[in-house]
Amino acid sequence: MTPEQDLSPKEFAPSADRNKEEILAVLPGILPAEGAILEIASGTGQHAVHFAPHFPRATWQPTDRRAEILPSIRAWIAEAGVANVLDPLELDVTWLEWPVESADAIVTSNMLHIAPWATCEAWIAGAARVLAPGAPLYYYGAMFRQDRETAPSNLAFDRSLRERDPAWGVRQLEEVVALAERRGLVLDAVLDMPNNNYSVVLRKPLA
């Protein structure tokens, strides 16, 4: 490793690297080809630079609640040289006002299980405020479903999360959908993904 690499703020998340292709496989059928795509909980920035080139007529806005991770996102953008990824913004979904006033789509991955339920409530409420009519709210991650037997790995994952923080845990899909419906969003699709994950698509109805 060179001194320059050692000093780089760019961070690497193995999970983001593992799931980037499986998520990308479904996004073109969900996200608009153009417009403003808001990514919430961007983490290291790996997903932003991997997904954005496949939507060249759209602008990709990465965000994260942790100001300290934004330099990593900037480093990934600089290295990739992706022209349609905007400078990352600090965004905590629990803020009553977001730094992005409107979006044609929202993308979020692996956030709900490592946050209190109030974060899910705020995420849904914020999405309902900023999404354009007809726009999708996309979520990727582990969830429990009433109509499916829960995989032992997800039960173990849920236990490990709650041991770290009792407010965390794998969320129940039906509870998330019910919350979204109360905010005026409707369930559009639930797609099976590898390793007992799901892609959930909520949508703001056309006016």
Could you read off the pLDDT of 111-166 as tens digits, one per residue? 999 999 999 999 999 999 999 999 999 999 999 999 988 889 999 999 999 999 99
CATH class, range 3-203? alpha beta
- pLDDT score for 151: 87
- pLDDT score for 111: 97
Q: Give the other-Cβ count within 10 Å of 133's Cβ.
A: 9
The closest of 83, 141, 153, 86 to 113, measured between CA atoms, is 141
In the chain, the percentage of residues whose pLDDT exceeds 70 is 96
Q: What is the pTM of this model?
A: 0.94
Between CA 157 and CA 177 the distance in angstroms is 22
pLDDT per residue over 69-120, tens digit each? 999 999 999 999 999 999 999 999 999 999 999 999 999 999 999 999 999 9
